[in-house]
A = this chain, B = another copy of it.
């Protein structure tokens, strides 16, 4: 069994400095009307305004930047049908590196076109995890490309930590920070930044219909999601051996939210703040606001993971 070395403060600082030229330092937004209604001071770190519309750009850029020149020359690959495919493609393009994305044939055409639009190559595979992994293995063996996992890669986690770090820069006196939990890459990075910069407690928001992280932390081992059912499509994935130890050590608590709450709080943010956040981000907002009595009067940061939603399939 591998023993995981949790990155130190210097690693977090260096990651941020390394990716800074390739990402947006996204704004922190708040709403006086929401704060008044709920009695909690919310500060949203708006990664929906990040390049390609999600925080994933941070981890993707950092993972490529940490590669040797030799490795960069051989290109990078991942299997993803979601935001990370676009993030890796765009980061690779910015850095002059070739990206090849393994995508299930079931992926929406719009996502495939977005990846192609960023200049990446797409390899189609059958829509099963096994087919994806086999296709990726085969491609890596043939080309020497580096496989970069969307969430279970320490350099991806370190890149992601920069979102919370920027938030803390602007709001150094936060009482807590919330982020959604999917594959664990965002929440692990958030835990690192908040641990090293102020020991700010970090809470995860997770859908009741995909509560594998909740049970994993309770039982002390990674439990894969079984047929996860949630509108928060970015959170149907499972934790990995790289991020799990960070969560075990630094995550304060996971708060579960129901599907109707995800839609309710997504709508609240759209209507009151006029910004588009994806369901996964609404999970973190819901985790705070449904527990408003507990966090009454506190200054709470929320990492808004992204804003990539299908306007043809809105829940309202």
Binding site for B on A (CB under 8 A): 27, 48-49, 53, 267, 270-271, 273-277, 307, 311-312, 314, 316
Q: How far is the CB of A31 from chain B (nearest CB, A)?
A: 9
Q: Which residues of B contact A277 (CB under 8 A)?
A: 274
**Cα–Cα, bound, A275→B48 (Å):** 9
Pull 20 A–B residue pairs with CB atoms less than 8 Å apart, ordered by A. Answer: A27-B27, A48-B274, A49-B273, A49-B274, A53-B274, A267-B311, A270-B276, A270-B311, A271-B311, A274-B275, A274-B276, A274-B277, A274-B307, A275-B275, A275-B276, A276-B276, A311-B314, A311-B316, A312-B316, A314-B314
Q: Which residues of B contact A316 (CB under 8 A)?
A: 311-312
Number of copies: 2
Q: How far is the CB of A270 from chain B (nearest CB, A)?
A: 6
Q: Which residues of B contact A267 (CB under 8 A)?
A: 311
**Cα–Cα, bound, A274→B47 (Å):** 10
Q: Which residues of B contact A271 (CB under 8 A)?
A: 311
**Cα–Cα, bound, A243→B307 (Å):** 39
Q: Which residues of B contact A270 (CB under 8 A)?
A: 276, 311
Q: Which residues of B contact A273 (CB under 8 A)?
A: 49
Beyond contacts A27-B27, A48-B274, A314-B314: 14 other A-B pairs, Cβ-Cβ < 8 A, are A49-B273, A49-B274, A53-B274, A267-B311, A270-B276, A270-B311, A271-B311, A274-B275, A274-B276, A274-B277, A274-B307, A275-B275, A275-B276, A311-B316
**Cα–Cα, bound, A48→B312 (Å):** 22
**Cα–Cα, bound, A314→B270 (Å):** 13
**Cα–Cα, bound, A312→B314 (Å):** 10
Q: Which residues of B contact A314 (CB under 8 A)?
A: 311, 314
Q: Which residues of B contact A311 (CB under 8 A)?
A: 267, 270-271, 314, 316
Q: Which residues of B contact A274 (CB under 8 A)?
A: 48-49, 53, 275-277, 307
